[in-house]
Amino acid sequence: MPEQDKSHSIPALLLNQARRWPDRPMLRYWRDGGWRRMRWAEFALQVAAVAAGLRSHGVAPGDRVLLLAENRPEFLIADTALMAIGAVTVPAYTTGTVADHGHILRDAGARCAIVSTARLAASLREAAGAGGLDLMVTMEPVEEAVDWSDLAAAGGDLAMLAAEVDHIPDGRLACLMYTSGTGGPPKGVMLPHRAMLANRRGIESFIRRLNLPEDGCYLSFLPLSHAYEHTVGYLLCSFGIELVFSRGAERLAAELTEIRPHIVTAVPRLFEVLRARILAAAEKQPPRQRMLFEAALRLGLRRLDGPALGLWERLQDAVLDRLVRRRIRGRFGGRMMALVSGGARLDPDLSGFFLALGLPVLQGYGQTEAGPVVSVNLPWDNDRHSVGRPLPGVTLRIAEDGEVLVQGPLVMDGYWGNAQATAQALRPDTPEGPPWLHTGDTGRLEGGRLYITDRKRDFIKTAGGEMISPARIESLLMAEPEIQHAVVAGEGRPGIVALIVPAEKVPEKAVEQAVGRVNRRLGGPERIRRFATVEPFRVEDGLLTPTMKIKRRAVLQAREELIANLYR
């Protein structure tokens, strides 16, 4: 790994690394039927060219520019070029609706956009309305738009740009990351360079200790418009790790064996899908193979939770590692060093399943407002019931009401154009003191580790006065292979009910049995009195975020009548 970098901005960091490793592969991506590579020197030259092109079209410091594209080299080039000239990147999800794009354009005051496809360009033009946009750059030919290849055609002065970005202060606004909005309209989180670089410094010792080989690579499939991928995935390449852009979640299983990555970041939903596939494959095996799989899982959990294995069991476990776990690790490429889950709570039983099978699943915690990573478990220091220890440079404390408070250079500057929301989220202890980020999550600190219990505002208070954690019940439900998604309700009601999306082709009787198994693990007030199966939640309906998190309040509002019927 290279010596510690002292850059004060993202463009300075990346252009400095391009000087160090001009011939090293930086990016791998699929195009025209095959994998292509981009080396650091080529990346830097294209950044300089696009930066010059944007300036020639009037993009100025402080301008907010919407970036609407899939994970591809042009996204990183445009993002870096915009930050290099002092503009503010506003990433948006390609899965967003016209209304979503319209809200972001209006809220951010963006008059320029860089878009990947003609379809997205049409959506954005509709969202912009009668006033239109001052500039639209498209990565495929579109009428009345500037073509990406023309934008970069004139080239740029790389040496001059590299000298310029060295003077960008770390407090300059780098991007507006719009929260995916699990409740209410998305807000623009103002992230300065300081916040994202604090995250990079926080994971530096972790990356160094992994001691990745020269051909170490990271498989990126979460959207770069999500803060988690934008910071973590983006900046992993700055350690010399090749960044490989997946062709999509539907191809991920094949790409794991083809690319053989060392690091993957994911959201809990991916682990739920992968576990269901592994269990389905095990069910199809002959009885002897199923028995070996179940033994590997059982002994693996014993190693995690105790009691300690005896000598004979350790010998069995070693044999099962070769017969069962090695084959399962092979489905993940056989070189995996870290499978890091973030974006939502990962059920300990779910992570335990993979850990017992020898896969290094690590849970972290964060939110867009914190750069976004606050804490993470490590392969050599992993407690699956926690979200790990705070990153270096992060200060944590628990408020009297149990809320997790965060302080440090990773914390946002506030919400764009929303002083009221900013004042609620960032509150100092004294008028002169640094602000604490009020995360809205409740948790506890034990032995230096952070344990998250729930969203503060999501607690359910039943008619009997019991305070119920919906996250705990929902995670137990979704840990059952028969259940794809679940939302529980009960605020002011005489008990808990659930809305359940069954897994594909699962009959209601099997769902009922799964709910029964969960109820046996719950205390009396938590138990599900009645449930209803519902159609899958979809991003297009506004019930899921683009990273497949359930918008609880949106679901409760959309299914209000059905929930009321469950109490009759």
pLDDT digits (tens, 9 = 90+) for 230-280: 998 889 999 999 999 999 888 998 999 999 999 999 888 788 888 888 998
d(CA 425, CA 414): 8
CA dihedral (407, 452, 235, 205) positive or negative: positive
Residue 468: per-residue pLDDT: 85
Selected from 3.30.1490.20, 3.40.50.12780, 1.20.140.10, 3.40.50.2300, the CATH number assigned to the domain covering 266-334+336-454 reads 3.40.50.12780
Residue 407: per-residue pLDDT: 97
Mean of per-residue pLDDT scores for the chain = 92
Contact 14, 30 (CB under 8 A): no
Task: Tell me which residue has tokens 């690579």.
Answer: 217
- Mean pLDDT, residues 550-565: 90
Q: For residue 61, is pLDDT > 90?
A: yes
Residue 2: per-residue pLDDT: 44
d(CA 112, CA 151): 14
- Mean pLDDT, residues 286-301: 95
pLDDT digits (tens, 9 = 90+) for 363-398: 999 999 999 999 999 999 999 999 999 999 999 999
Residue 269: per-residue pLDDT: 79
Beta bridge pairs of residue 83: none
Contact 470, 482 (CB under 8 A): no
Of the candidates 481, 478, 452, the one whose C-alpha atom is nearest the C-alpha of residue 552 is: 478
Q: How confident is the model at residue 81 (pLDDT cuts 50, 70, 90)?
A: very high
pLDDT digits (tens, 9 = 90+) for 326-362: 999 999 999 999 999 987 778 888 899 999 999 999 9
Contact 137, 125 (CB under 8 A): no
Domains 10-178+212-262 and 266-334+336-454 share a fold: yes
- Lowest mean pLDDT: which of 84-98, 111-125, 156-170, 445-459? 445-459
Residue 491: per-residue pLDDT: 86
Q: For residue 182, is pLDDT > 70?
A: no
Counting every residue, how long is the chain? Answer: 568
- Mean pLDDT, residues 299-317: 93
Q: How confident is the model at residue 180 (pLDDT cuts 50, 70, 90)?
A: low
- Mean pLDDT, residues 107-120: 96
- Mean pLDDT, residues 127-152: 92
Q: Domain ranges in the chain?
A: 10-178+212-262, 266-334+336-454, 459-566
Residue 1: per-residue pLDDT: 44
Cα distances (angstroms) measured from residue 518 to each of 385, 463, 472, 474: 18, 22, 11, 10
Architecture label for domain 459-566: 2-Layer Sandwich (3.30)
Residue 384: per-residue pLDDT: 93
- Phi/psi-derived region of residue 185, left when phi > 0, alpha when psi is between -120 and 50, beta in every other case: beta
Fold designation for 10-178+212-262: Rossmann fold (3.40.50)
pLDDT digits (tens, 9 = 90+) for 440-462: 899 999 999 999 887 766 778 78
